[in-house]
Structure 1
Amino acid sequence: MQPLIAIGASAGGMEALSTIFAALPADFPAAILVVTHVGARKSLLPALLAKTSALPVRHAQDREPIRPGRILLAPPDLHMLVSITAGQPMVELTRGPRENHTRPAIDPLFRSAAAALGPQVVGVILSGYLDDGTAGLQAIKACGGMALVQEPEDAVAPSMPDSALRNVAVDRRLPAAGIAPALLALVKDMAASVADRTEAPAWIAVENRFAR
């Protein structure tokens, strides 16, 4: 299965996302799913990010296949989850309960991706307030995936990166400008290796049921 990059961002995340996407090539060999705290209001983020990205950027659609080489963003007021249907990773959009006071939230994406794809997932936490994404990164690590965090001093809002660093065994902490090169190297390594799947702990399955 192809690697999946799951990214969570909030306040100040637009700048970091633009920096990362501008540095990724058009043939980037992994899918990228992104949650930002857009709430229920109309979002122009895909159009804005597409201006700097060689990869196509748009809002995700329910039940669409997750394929390499494109960036899908969670639509307003919907959690974006990952599920497996007939061996194919799929997007699942739900109006499950708000988490960390928001919908879409980062933790549901990270947890569901961890349960579905295990060691093929790289979770990335960018600028933002409070601690959304910390529990999700814990799930990714528990299922054998990798965790990257934007250096708090490089973030407009350092709370989310700082929470992740304090509570998760993060693999790398980097300024936004260093994240795209790190993702390219990680995806290459993941494609060349076969990691053993780790059964998702029961707490992840329970939380995923709530989000659905």
Structure 2
Amino acid sequence: MRSVDVIVIGSSAGGVMVLRQLVAALPADFKTPIFIVQHMAAAKDSYLVNILDSSGPLRVLHPADGAKIEKATIYVAPPDYHMLIEKGHILVKKGPKENRFRPSIDALFRSAAYSYGSGAVGIVLTGMLDDGCSGM
């Protein structure tokens, strides 16, 4: 069985409580990097990093474009930017909306599948429409 290299999670605006519970349940020695796309208003500040960082033992942050992927870290897409992953690095880009959203769950999921193949695990937590379906 192949090990898990990355975990990618997509959630609509209603998923904050579920994300908090998930992060709170992770052990301090959990090493697999986690990437989260949460649908949010583009013009609003995001407090999701602060909420999740105070919920569990792992470091939570908005990544910078080109940042190196580190173990035991949770990365949250910044408002109005797509977060993509390539082998070992994170891309944060202001591309066109996908399925009405930026950040797009599909964009993150596709990049994980392309870069990590069966070493990527995708999770769709909440949602009403179809963002995340084609990327999964």
Q: Kindly tell me the number of residue pairs found equivalent between the two proteins.
A: 133
Q: Are 1:71 and 2:70 matched, yes or no? A: no
Distance in structure 2 (CA, Å) of the matches to 1:72 and 1:29:
13
Q: Secondary structure at the match of 2:75?
A: strand
- Aligned residue number for residue 107 of structure 1: 106
Q: Which runs of 4+ in 1 moved over 2 A?
A: none
1:2 CA displacement: 6.0
Q: Secondary structure at the match of 1:109?
A: helix
- For the pair shown, which has the larger CA radius of gyration, 1 or 2? 1
Equivalent positions of 1:32-51 (< 5 A) are: 32-40=34-42, 41-51=44-54
TM (norm. structure 1) is: 0.60
Distance in structure 2 (CA, Å) of the matches to 1:78 and 1:17:
20
Q: Secondary structure at the match of 2:45?
A: coil
1:17 CA displacement: 0.4
Distance in structure 2 (CA, Å) of the matches to 1:92 and 1:2:
20
Q: Is the 8 A contact 1:110 1:136 kept in 2?
A: yes
**What 5-or-longer segments of structure 1 have no aligned partner?**
138-212
Pick the structure with more helix per residue.
1
Cα distance per residue 1:41-100 (max 9 Å; x no partner)? 21011001112111011111110111210101000110000123xxxx100011111011
- Aligned residue number for residue 20 of structure 1: 22
Corresponding letter in the other structure for 2:119: Q
Distance in structure 2 (CA, Å) of the matches to 1:39 and 1:82:
22
**What 5-or-longer segments of structure 2 have no aligned partner?**
none
TM (norm. structure 2) is: 0.93
Calculate percent identity across the aligned residue pairs. 44
Distance in structure 2 (CA, Å) of the matches to 1:102 and 1:42:
16
Name the structure, 1 or 2, with higher relative contact order (CA <8 Å, separation 6+).
2
Equivalent positions of 1:138-177 (< 5 A) are: none
Cα distance per residue 1:157-206 (max 9 Å; x no partner)? xxxxxxxxxxxxxxxxxxxxxxxxxxxxxxxxxxxxxxxxxxxxxxxxxx
